[in-house]
Chains A and B, each alone.
Chain A
Amino acid sequence: MPNSPATAEGPVISVRGVVKKYGNMRALDGVDADVSRGEVVVVIGPSGSGKSTFIRCLNGLERVDGGRVTIDGMPISTRRDWQVARRRIGMVFQDYSLFPHMTVMSNICLAPVRARVGTRAETEERAMEMLERVGLAHKANDFPAALSGGQQQRVAIVRALAMKPEAILFDEPTSALDPETIGEVLAVMKELAREGMTMVVVTHEMGFAREVADRVVFMDKGRIVEIGPPEVIFTSPREDRTKAFLEMIF
């Protein structure tokens, strides 16, 4: 059960010794991490460090070659396990990935109605409220092609939320956006964080990490180099590799 008292206190997502190989290359080389309920974890690191692979392992888009992933205390391994677990772990992609042949409303309501998260009427009502909050209620009946990148990404966030997930994964949600629209997406994410949504965010937005993260994970070469609160990671990192990376980007 998703909210049974026995598991509610443990981490929502827990990974131990996770390995992901592409041929001989180890994209993830023994990663351990926990994400607690209501926590915002921001993952940073150079490109090719494995941060996207890491977040994709948290909802089974990449199947791990070693180690284990636990959602709400339950080990997840088979395809079927993942299909069930994904109802509780939402995901927002870099390229939004809205279904281009469906209106904004259908994009949001299709999955929750199918998965019986709520009736159609309830789901549409909630979708409208959420669209209102992200300032896109007037776009409910438009197709994605009629929306800007920032608008599409806000719809994608609402689509993930409509499943009433316990956690949402964000894989570089602002990397494909024009600079002037990044802010509107980050604002929605900040509000979500304030409301206590459990979030794992891969991003290059260091301002967001500093302001919103409970913990920052620095990854390099498929491993977690350092985990800590943002004020520690950004001002006095322990590891030399973290220092080198931060010096490069600031």
Chain B
Amino acid sequence: MNYAFSFVYIVENLPVLFDGFMVTVRVSVISIAIASLIGIAGAAVRLLKVPVLSQVVGAYVHFIRSTPLLPQIFFIFYGLASVGLPISSFWAGVFALSLWGGAYNVENVRGGFLSISKGLHEAADSLAFGPLHYLWLVAVPLGVRVSLPSMLNTSVSVLKNSAYLQAIGLAELTFVAMDKVSLEFRTLEMFAAIGVMYLVLVLALSIAVRRLENVLQKPFRP
């Protein structure tokens, strides 16, 4: 065994890795944003017990959480193409990751809504707020604040699970690394390099959410 780890090899390949890195960033940022909106909207539908829609959201959450992500990705990519709606692997990826993260976020935000005291709901009622006013003015600002840590968890998973999108040919970070490995067999170098890159991305995401938490926490400090 005389495998010599080559930093030079990594540096030489940084430009191509950077292309994959940027695809991962784009697909993840868009998916995390949509998944967050799905989470808030879905939890709102469940909170307000909107007839029919509430059951639909319940079924959606159950379905997504009970099946593996990879088949979901294939189902969307090949399924849409087979019914005459061909979609690029990038947007199929955004679609799949948003639906996947959205399902978890529905439960995350619902938990946040449940943490709001009954007294605040009654105070809103006694001030003649309609259900939508309560939702927008009280439940969302207070509930989302509480669910931020679990939403961050889900968002980190969305980011890391973007690696599955190599299966539908999206040239994201893991795809690029695998591609190079299959040609030049520099396995350790490539996976070490993308490992560090994912680490940096998750760190950046965590810092951003921590900042948001601090902003939302401001009123609660005496």
Instruction: Give chain B interface residues in 120-149, CB to chain A under 8 Å.
Output: 120, 122-123, 125-130, 133, 137-138, 141-142, 145
**Please, which residues of chain A bring their CB within 8 A of the CB of B119?**
93, 95, 97
**Please, which residues of chain B bring their CB within 8 A of the CB of A144?**
219
Shortest Cβ-Cβ A-B pairs, 4 listed: A97-B123, A111-B127, A91-B126, A143-B219
**Please, which residues of chain B bring their CB within 8 A of the CB of A61?**
122, 125-126
A84 within 8 Å of B (CB atoms): yes
Chain A interface size, as a band, is 20 to 34
Do residues B130 and A83 form an inter-chain contact, with CB atoms below 8 A? yes
**A93-B122, A163-B128 given; 14 more Cβ-contact pairs under 8 Å:** A61-B122, A83-B128, A84-B128, A87-B128, A90-B126, A93-B119, A95-B119, A97-B122, A99-B120, A99-B142, A101-B141, A101-B142, A114-B129, A145-B222
Task: For residue A33, give the distance in angstroms from its CB to the closest CB of chain B.
Answer: 19
How many angstroms from the CA of A60 to the CA of B126 in the assembled complex?
Answer: 8
A59 within 8 Å of B (CB atoms): yes
The residue that A97 contacts in the complex, of B120, B130, B141, B219, with Cβ under 8 A, is: B120
**Please, which residues of chain B bring their CB within 8 A of the CB of A98?**
123
Task: For residue B175, give the distance in angstroms from its CB to the closest CB of chain A.
Answer: 43
Do residues A159 and B127 form an inter-chain contact, with CB atoms below 8 A? yes
A232 within 8 Å of B (CB atoms): no
Task: For residue A244, give the distance in angstroms from its CB to the closest CB of chain B.
Answer: 32
**Please, which residues of chain B bring their CB within 8 A of the CB of A97?**
117, 119-120, 122-123
**Please, which residues of chain A bring their CB within 8 A of the CB of B145?**
101
B220 within 8 Å of A (CB atoms): yes
Task: For residue A168, give the distance in angstroms from its CB to the closest CB of chain B.
Answer: 10
How many angstroms from the CA of A158 to the CA of B96 in the assembled complex?
Answer: 50
Task: For residue A191, give the distance in angstroms from its CB to the closest CB of chain B.
Answer: 22
**Please, which residues of chain A bring their CB within 8 A of the CB of B120?**
97, 99
How many angstroms from the CA of A99 to the CA of B137 in the assembled complex?
Answer: 9
How many angstroms from the CA of A71 to the CA of B111 in the assembled complex?
Answer: 37
A100 within 8 Å of B (CB atoms): yes
The residue that A145 contacts in the complex, of B128, B133, B219, with Cβ under 8 A, is: B219
A225 within 8 Å of B (CB atoms): no
A146 within 8 Å of B (CB atoms): yes
How many angstroms from the CA of A59 to the CA of B220 in the assembled complex?
Answer: 30
Do residues B137 and A110 form an inter-chain contact, with CB atoms below 8 A? yes
| B contacts, CB < 8 Å to A | 117, 119-120, 122-123, 125-130, 133, 137-138, 141-142, 145, 216, 218-222
A8 within 8 Å of B (CB atoms): no
Task: For residue B117, give the distance in angstroms from its CB to the closest CB of chain A.
Answer: 8
A-B contact list, 28 entries, CB within 8 Å = A59-B126, A61-B126, A84-B128, A87-B128, A90-B126, A91-B123, A91-B126, A95-B117, A95-B119, A97-B119, A97-B123, A98-B123, A99-B138, A99-B142, A101-B142, A101-B145, A101-B220, A102-B219, A103-B219, A110-B127, A111-B128, A111-B129, A115-B128, A143-B220, A145-B220, A146-B222, A159-B127, A163-B128
Which residue of chain B has the shortest Cβ distance to A103 in the bound complex?
B219
Task: For residue A3, give the distance in angstroms from its CB to the closest CB of chain B.
Answer: 17
Do residues B123 and A99 form an inter-chain contact, with CB atoms below 8 A? yes
Do residues A145 and B138 form an inter-chain contact, with CB atoms below 8 A? no
**Please, which residues of chain B bring their CB within 8 A of the CB of A95?**
117, 119
A86 within 8 Å of B (CB atoms): yes
Do residues A101 and B128 form an inter-chain contact, with CB atoms below 8 A? no
Do residues B133 and A114 form an inter-chain contact, with CB atoms below 8 A? yes
The residue that B219 contacts in the complex, of A86, A93, A100, with Cβ under 8 A, is: A100
Do residues B128 and A100 form an inter-chain contact, with CB atoms below 8 A? no
Task: For residue A153, give the distance in angstroms from its CB to the closest CB of chain B.
Answer: 12
Q: CB-defined interface of A12-27 with B at 8 Å, one 1/0 digit per residue? A: 0000000000000000
How many angstroms from the CA of A121 to the CA of B119 in the assembled complex?
Answer: 29
The residue that B125 contacts in the complex, of A86, A103, A143, A159, with Cβ under 8 A, is: A86
The residue that B126 contacts in the complex, of A86, A101, A145, with Cβ under 8 A, is: A86
Task: For residue B183, give the distance in angstroms from its CB to the closest CB of chain A.
Answer: 55
Do residues A93 and B123 form an inter-chain contact, with CB atoms below 8 A? yes
**Please, which residues of chain B bring their CB within 8 A of the CB of A93?**
119, 122-123
How many angstroms from the CA of A91 to the CA of B138 in the assembled complex?
Answer: 18
Do residues B127 and A163 form an inter-chain contact, with CB atoms below 8 A? yes
